[in-house]
Chain A
Amino acid sequence: MAPETLAFYAFGAVAVVASLLVIAQRNPIYSVLLLIASFGALSGLYVLLDAPFVAVIQIIVYAGAIMVLFLFVVMLLNAPHEETEYDERVHPLLRPGPMRFGALLALVLAGELSWALTRSGDSGRFPAGAVASVRAIGRSLFTDYAFPFEVTSILILVAMVGAVLLARREGRG
């Protein structure tokens, strides 16, 4: 087996297993840490896809910034365990009511996606020319996508103001 295929299977297995454990953990801190592992594996997949820029911002922005924000909130709230009225050890498909329906819907989605993908036949190999250089991405970002880029900055500003306003304590300021 070619080393690239081997690396794909290794990264893919880490990503899937870590994601499964994220939704299986009861303690949110472990969930966040496992999700960081999953993001590391995804970053390796981006390297395999000749996208080093995305691989690097995946680590810096996602694992570095967004997940640290999650970790902050988990530790700030200090509510590690999910308090539920049902037994957590029961399989989701055996739990009552809407939760069983939800788990069933997720299974149907997985089946549907794999059915659609296996029917599509051989997608062929990737072509030789890959846009891997940060220079090309930056040029495209600041010319063709200049307007969405500026809108993004407004979005970030709105999110920042909104987060500050929502997390503010009541009755002050």
Chain B
Amino acid sequence: MIELHGYGPLLADGAWLTLRVAFASVALGLVFGLLGATAKLSRSVFLRGAATAYTAIVRGLPELLLLLIIFYGGSLLVQSVWQELGGESYIEINPFVAGTFTLAFVFGAYATEVFRGAILAVPKGQVEAAYAVGMTRLQMFRRVMLPQVWRFALPGLGNLWLVLLKDTSLISVINLNELMYAARAGAGKTHEPFTFFATAALIYLAFTIVSMVVLQYSERRAQRGVRMG
């Protein structure tokens, strides 16, 4: 068994925070992705341009740099607004908020492409048929679009989730006490870095394995009723 010198609970708390950051980011990131895909498929030149700039810039920058920009830049912005209002103390934005926002921003940029492809993959005739049998826009979206977009998008979103799960470790750089930060703390206190980082690696690996099992199940579920050639 691995000897953690009483730092096991610290790692467990960190792992729990890692999961919370990941779930919060994926929820917000899906919203960004849907908005991005809608903008990319819209008729407005301005919206299309904005969405293209969003995906091109975010996908070309290191996640770590983006995190630092949002954390330090955001803190400075909040602080300058605060000083304008007459405040004096030093303000730093919450690392959980900055981290979640960054990961969601990155997830959203990649998810934009995934959703765009999935929406385009729904045959146009089915949409026309839905309207022809008298469905309202909402009914059409709920019964025809959504189940199919979900099915087409799921493999892509699953990969993005696995990437996001691993990227949560970056937030330790701005001192959020998630799993990686806890491992660093344990490593520093006990002078046994290998033990702690290897344990963290195993926990991340376990998260990945569980995610893969759930994703495989969901993909199979989303495909029920589809005839395979």
Do A and B interact? no
Question: Interface on A for B, CB 8 Å cutoff?
Answer: none
Question: Interface on B for A, CB 8 Å cutoff?
Answer: none
